[in-house]
Amino acid sequence: MLEITPGNPRSAGGDLRTLRTAAGLSLRALAAHSGYSTSYLSRVENGRRAITPEIVRLYTTLTGPAAAPARQRHRSRQHPLIPAPRRPAPATDTPGHLGIVWFGAEVRRLRMADGKSLDALGGEVYISRAYLGKIEQGSARGTYQLALSLDGALGARGRLAQLFLAEHARVGPVPADVAILDDPWRPGHLPGRLPGLETADPAEVAVVALDRLDRIRARSRHGPHAVFAELTAGVTELHNLAATSAKEAAAPLRSAALRYAELLGWTAQETGHDAIALRWTRTALDWARAIGDTDAVGYALIRQSQWARRRGAAEQAIGHARAAAALPGISPRIEQFAAQREAQACALAGDESGFRCALDRFHDLAARTHAAGAAPDPTADPVRPQWGPLPDPGFEQSRILEATCLVDLGDFHAAATLFADHMSRLTGGRTGYARLAVREATAYAHLGEADLACEVTARWLPVVARAGSASLRGDLNRLTRILNRHRTRPAVRDLLPDLSVLARAAGTAPVGGH
């Protein structure tokens, strides 16, 4: 393996150049066969770009006895010792790497195949040229009646109507608002009673409800849209059962209802219904204070910090995170989440000193919680498990959080270096990793490494499409704007259609929504 001198990338870059020239390869030839751009490899060799483990492996394949025959035929199309191009497969209007056909894209394909202009087709279905253009681009959805009209005008034989309904199902219904709690409880009034809640013992009801919630939460990780009905039924029934029970008996019911309310707030956030999300988060905060659950209060404040940061209110986000961390008796785990949100909010505000202090606190707390995690707490209440996501050592013990914050601080070179060094530590397929990958791609795109940005993004786009996460909308839009500067590159041209539609669709409410 190539020896890299720490802190001296220019010297290491010279070593790479020596290996390439010794192999008899030009920079252009190496770029053509490796999938990296010529400018990217040039910057690596000149010490202006971080040297990643993949680059080290690429260059070290150019040395040794096995490489000798290759040095004699480096002009051939397929160099046997250089990895195949890593560019993502071209995006198409038929199921490809995303496995999705977009309604708007199919309208455009059929219109162009029929030789109709936007004006002509718009006139046939009685909508404006501009509105039809928005539908084709994915920034407007239209109605089912319009889908039927387009289907007839383009001779699609029901295909467009089916695609419209399928896309509507991916976006999902509007999440329940807290107004459902104002209605008097009546048997059969709920949108569906939860199985297993027929028992009269409140403690048993709470246990059954929390067990059910674990299964609902597991399904929600693949997209929040399918769990609204069950969450709505659960939170309403638990809330009203608690209201009709004795004070002592109602305690476990209120605790379980609080967890349903918190998850409803998250599903509202992930589908772009920020006002509903905030109301559920505030409801969860009120309930947590009422039952005296300090960690639940802290987590609700952390969720409010997330909400504020998504809207660009950095100072408000910092305030909520610090308020959570300052709660007396807060657990180290919740304090760790608060430090993470504070670091992210400080980065958004451009406060590097505050960001560094919060980041150090996050890593100290992560080390403490992981060390304590080896021994389970015998006093833990099984009806009140920990708040927040499960521990993730790959993320929490790496410098990936720092890398994501450096993107907001504008230090793209340092961010890209950290991403390249630490993203490989992540294991499993958590949906949240897609958000980290988009941040990584943004850092590369800002540095002009558009091909590398497209490769990273394309790898995670199927996850983004399935999850339908609105919280990714801002990052996806930001990445799209940057990549548009490089839209003449083939990799960018291939990726932009899917990326643009996802950036719009991720936070778009369905027809009739809020």
User: What average pLDDT does this structure show over 227-243?
Assistant: 88
User: What average pLDDT does this structure show over 112-119?
Assistant: 91
Q: What is residue 32's predicted lDDT score, i.e. its pLDDT?
A: 60
Work out the pLDDT band at 57, boundaries 50, 70, 90. low
Q: 487, 289 in Cβ contact below 8 A?
A: no
Is the pLDDT at 487 greater than 60? The verdict is: yes
Domain map (residue ranges) of the chain: 9-71, 103-171, 293-373+386-391, 413-505
Work out the pLDDT band at 495, boundaries 50, 70, 90. confident
Work out the pLDDT band at 432, boundaries 50, 70, 90. confident
User: What average pLDDT does this structure show over 379-385?
Assistant: 44
Rounded CA-CA distance 122/134 in Å is 12
Is the pLDDT at 79 greater than 70? The verdict is: no
List, for residues 313-363, the tens digit of each pLDDT value: 999 999 999 999 999 999 999 999 999 999 999 999 999 999 999 999 999
Q: What is residue 507's predicted lDDT score, i.e. its pLDDT?
A: 42
Average pLDDT, the chain: 79
Tokens coding 460: 């995670």
User: What average pLDDT does this structure show over 389-396?
Assistant: 87
Q: What is residue 377's predicted lDDT score, i.e. its pLDDT?
A: 47
Radius of gyration of the chain (CA): 26
Greatest Cα pair distance, the chain, in angstroms, is 86
75 versus 403: the higher-pLDDT residue is 403
Rounded CA-CA distance 107/488 in Å is 25
CA distances from 501 to 91, 221, 379 (A): 12, 21, 49
Q: Which of 113-127, 213-227, 262-276 has the highest mean pLDDT?
A: 113-127
Q: 381, 292 in Cβ contact below 8 A?
A: no
List phi, psi (to 5°) of 513.
Answer: -85, 180
**Of 9-13, 274-278, 409-413, which gets the smallest average pLDDT?**
9-13
List, for residues 285-318, the tens digit of each pLDDT value: 999 999 999 999 999 999 999 999 988 899 999 9
115 versus 73: the higher-pLDDT residue is 115
Rounded CA-CA distance 491/450 in Å is 8
Q: Would you give the DSSP letter of residue 98?
A: S
Same fold, 9-71 and 103-171: yes
Rounded CA-CA distance 260/47 in Å is 52
Q: What is residue 360's predicted lDDT score, i.e. its pLDDT?
A: 96
Q: What is residue 182's predicted lDDT score, i.e. its pLDDT?
A: 72
Burial class of 499 by CB neighbour count within 10 A (0 to 12, 13 to 18, 19+): buried
Rounded CA-CA distance 255/300 in Å is 14
User: What average pLDDT does this structure show over 370-395?
Assistant: 64
Rounded CA-CA distance 402/344 in Å is 9
Is the pLDDT at 180 greater than 70? The verdict is: yes
Fold that domain 103-171 belongs to in CATH: 434 Repressor (Amino-terminal Domain) (1.10.260)
398 versus 247: the higher-pLDDT residue is 398
Question: Which residues, at least 6 apart from 496, have a Cβ–Cβ distance to it below 8 Å?
Answer: 480, 483, 484, 487
Q: What is the DSSP string of 347-379?
A: HHHT-HHHHHHHHHHHHHHHHHHHHHTTS--TT
Q: What is residue 479's predicted lDDT score, i.e. its pLDDT?
A: 92
Q: How many other C-beta atoms lie within 10 A of the C-beta of residue 343?
A: 27
Question: Which residues, at least 6 apart from 374, have a Cβ–Cβ distance to it below 8 Å?
Answer: none
Q: What is residue 461's predicted lDDT score, i.e. its pLDDT?
A: 81
Rounded CA-CA distance 87/450 in Å is 11
Work out the pLDDT band at 153, boundaries 50, 70, 90. very high
Q: How many other C-beta atoms lie within 10 A of the C-beta of residue 52?
A: 18
51 versus 97: the higher-pLDDT residue is 51
Q: Which of 188-197, 363-372, 426-435, 446-455 has the highest mean pLDDT?
A: 446-455
Is the pLDDT at 48 greater than 50? The verdict is: yes
Q: What is residue 69's predicted lDDT score, i.e. its pLDDT?
A: 40
Is the pLDDT at 58 greater than 90? The verdict is: no
Q: What is residue 12's predicted lDDT score, i.e. its pLDDT?
A: 65
Rounded CA-CA distance 366/335 in Å is 10
Task: For tokens 């005008």, name the residue.
Answer: 153
Is the pLDDT at 510 greater than 60? The verdict is: no
Q: How many other C-beta atoms lie within 10 A of the C-beta of residue 406?
A: 24
Work out the pLDDT band at 5, boundaries 50, 70, 90. very low
CATH number of the domain located at residue range(s) 9-71 in this protein: 1.10.260.40
